[in-house]
Amino acid sequence: MRGNALAVWVVGGVIGLALGGCSHTWYQFELSQAERSHVDATKNALAATQSNPNALAQVVDLQGRRGAEALIAGMSTQSSGGDVQYERLSRVLYIAIMGDAEDPLAALNQDMTMAGARVAQRIAQSGLQQMGLGGIAAMVGVVGDDDGQRLREMSVSLQRGQPQTCGPFDVIVSYDAGILGHIQTSITDQDQTYQAWRQRVQAVHLVRFTCATSHMLTVMTRNRGEAGLRVIGWHFVTQAQWESMRPGLRRAFDLPE
């Protein structure tokens, strides 16, 4: 069920109180032309960081990215109760944070419990034991990192993908972030970074840009008090990979015909 952004944002908060019998599409909405212009401007700002790496920290929401990781890691220890609303939003975010070498089809087909286990290695080592992730950490190997390391990794990814060659875009799906208020896991309940992100994020957009030799799947967010959009992450895919993904996208996110 879809309408303009304002209508969904208003109605979604009320309908969300009885999620058990609702379709997750209550939290999906169509972008306005003004918001689409912000999508384009944000991509241009991301591309401009190729010549100014220090600007990447202004375009990317690193704390939002960490919050998204905590949400996905939470799926490894607590079931979503079969509610597709939570699982499908997690798949959108997983596309943003999965490694460059990972198969993009995994974001659509992989069991989210296993995806959460993979993401858990990026959670701070000091908190893993108290969050119940000690066994998972030992299995996948814990990688502690800081913002500088994150930015270096992202800069390398951009240099490989060449976002300055990306032009036309399609918005695959947009979510009213009010849905996050109904997701509870043992990890997110204890993660202050996630809690802070949940309070300020208002919308999550999954966007596909057509580039010179590839496609860029990008997750952007609108945050309270910010004029433009911020980037959580991206994943470059080849033309062949994109063609393989397309049939599953409609099913994965319950998109209209």
Q: What is the pLDDT of residue 145?
A: 60
How does pLDDT run across 195-236, given as a tens digit for each residue?
A: 999 999 999 999 999 999 999 999 999 999 999 999 999 999
CA angle 125, 129, 135 (to 5 degrees): 95
Q: How many CA atoms lie within 13 A of 100 on its CB side?
A: 12
- The list of the chain residues with pLDDT below 70 reads 1-25, 76-83, 111-118, 120-145, 257
Q: What is the pLDDT of residue 186?
A: 82
Q: What is the pLDDT of residue 115?
A: 65
Which stretch of DSSP H or E encloses residue 204?
strand 201-210
Q: What is the pLDDT of residue 142?
A: 44
Terminal-to-terminal C-alpha distance of the chain: 13
Q: What is the pLDDT of residue 105?
A: 80
Q: What is the pLDDT of residue 119?
A: 72
Which stretch of DSSP H or E encloses residue 209?
strand 201-210
